[in-house]
Amino acid sequence: MSSTLEKLQQRARVLEREIEAELARHREQIGVRVGRGKVRFDRDLLRRHRAARISLRDFLAATRPLVVLTAPVIYGLIIPFVILDIAVTLYQWICFPVYGIPKVRRRDYIAIDRHHLAYLNALQKLNCVYCGYGNGLLAYAREVAGRTEAYWCPIKHARRLRDTHALYPDFMDYADEQDFIDRWVAEREKLRKLD
């Protein structure tokens, strides 16, 4: 990998950290405190949230009937989600110790916290819990799959992909056999040191 590319990737990581720090400052400015796994809201913010909540009756009245009819399709995915959750967790518990890859912490990807927002009614809160689980689960599964790919085949694809997992930018360049020969063992070692 070229030093220019490595420098750009490092700048991107620094920028991501700066964005997260700015988002944390913004949350604090509006009255949200996050610490030790708990979310706390300033009284004024909580009062505004409660005043903004739409009742469940009004929410359902404003919802198109066809949207309501899609609910079983959406919520029907809970069964494959739970199966995926169990399968991915068992997979990494069994395989990652053999490969020497650190296990992915599920809690780093699945966040169920939007139900604390007082401006959401009960159905909106349920939907947010479901989406937090579903999208977090997919991110967790992607990280497990990404670590597996980094161990077995850390080579970039020939064509550009729309979105890739976090380890992908460090993969070896496509069709560069010397890069692969020079770095494959070192990349596996780097993977073993993930925190």
pLDDT (tens digit per residue) in 7-37: 888 898 899 999 999 998 998 999 998 888 7
Would you say residue 168 has pLDDT above 90? yes
Which pLDDT tens digit goes with each residue over 63-82?
Answer: 999 999 999 999 999 999 99
| Predicted local confidence at residue 6, as pLDDT | 81
The whole-angstrom separation of Cα 106 and Cα 36 is 17
pLDDT band at 1 (very low <50, low <70, confident <90, very high): low
Contact 33, 24 (CB under 8 A): no
Q: Is the dihedral of CA 167, 168, 170, 171 positive or negative?
A: positive
Confidence category of residue 159, pLDDT binned at 50, 70, 90: very high
CA-closest candidate to residue 46, choices 115, 119, 112, 114: 119
Q: What is the pLDDT of residue 195?
A: 75
Note the pTM of the prediction, 2 decimals.
0.88
